[in-house]
Homo-oligomer: A and B are copies of this chain.
């Protein structure tokens, strides 16, 4: 009716007289009328809301900077285009697409997809557009767009840089809780492959899945004299290890080189500043959201896979293995 036109601007060919319009407005004001978007959504078959699914979102105490940038990229882009963003509770038990794909979202950004086949299946069973963020694209991509960074290339740069400085054996550290995240696996494999290509020693035991890495680091350090550099799955791990290393008297970078991943602002705060593989997190998140909304608004659009190149931000936690402490001299 006319009210819809006056109050919500709907109705193409509805004309309303000036005094009628005014009456409507006054009545609405008096009654404390609020348009109901739920009804609008039901009617219009769209919600102008996108869902964000996050594996391990609530894992740490105080989200790492990485998550902040990710969210910021998503929120900024979504808001600019008039979409709200809902962060979902269906974290790990999200195997059931019904929990997500139930009409409340026009599309979904799925972050850090785990390698559980159920989850992968759920992802491609979705009836709404979806984009997987920070998830390496699979071979058959189905109805989903992928935005990720060149994890393997990033790790390769780090390893080559370390190897070039004389490191002979390099470890990889990840949060034990993230072992199922595809990204983790790809980075880990990247390290193994690069070591192999460069002719460096590499043992399965050099892939370190730590729960409380501060705790486990000390033990590991005492037990493993020949690893002189650690590449970490995130800046936060790297920072945690750095702190603990210093506390037990390890001289970073000379006793041990440390490389983070993401190269967030966090890396500038530590002393010494953290060398890290860089990925344009916020930009990637923004692009993913763009792609999603584009496809929401034009469903015929094809899905795509975008891989952003990584860089290596060399700061102060990497150096040739100079220390004699571990019996290695450049």
Chain A residues in contact with chain B, CB under 8 A?
Answer: 32, 34-39, 41-42, 47, 49, 57-58, 61-63, 65, 67-69, 71-72, 75-76, 78-79, 82-89, 91, 97-98, 101-104, 125, 127, 239, 243, 264-266, 268-271, 282
Contact = CB atoms under 8 A, between A and B. Distances in A.
9 shortest interchain CB distances as A-B pairs: A79-B89, A36-B103, A63-B68, A271-B271, A86-B86, A38-B103, A37-B102, A37-B104, A269-B269
B58 A72 contact: yes
A208 B16 CA distance: 53
Nearest to A266: B269
Contacts of A84: 86-89
A71 B78 contact: no
Contact of A49 (B32, B82, B86, B127): B86
B34 A101 contact: yes
* Identical chains bound together, number: 2
B58 A63 contact: no
Contacts of A42: 36, 38-39, 42
A38 B89 contact: no
Contacts of A72: 58, 61-63
Nearest to A125: B32
Most interface-central of A32, A103, A243 (chain B CB within 10 A): A103
Contact of A83 (B32, B89, B266, B270): B89
A266 B270 CA distance: 10
A154 to B, nearest CB: 19
Contacts of A243: 268
A62 B104 contact: no
B102 A36 contact: yes
A62 B62 contact: no
Nearest to A102: B37
A7 to B, nearest CB: 9
A84 to B, nearest CB: 5
Given A32-B127, A68-B68, A82-B89, 5 more contacts: A34-B98, A58-B79, A62-B72, A84-B86, A85-B87
Contacts of A68: 62-63, 67-68
A194 to B, nearest CB: 29
Nearest to A66: B62
Nearest to A91: B79
A202 to B, nearest CB: 32
Most interface-central of A49, A84, A268, A282 (chain B CB within 10 A): A84
Contacts of A270: 269
A65 to B, nearest CB: 5
Given A83-B89, A85-B86, A269-B270, A264 B34 contact: no
Contact of A34 (B38, B78, B102): B102
A34 B99 CA distance: 9
A34 B127 contact: yes
A293 B91 CA distance: 20
B38 A47 contact: yes
Contact of A76 (B36, B58, B83, B269): B58
Contacts of A38: 38, 41-42, 47, 103-104
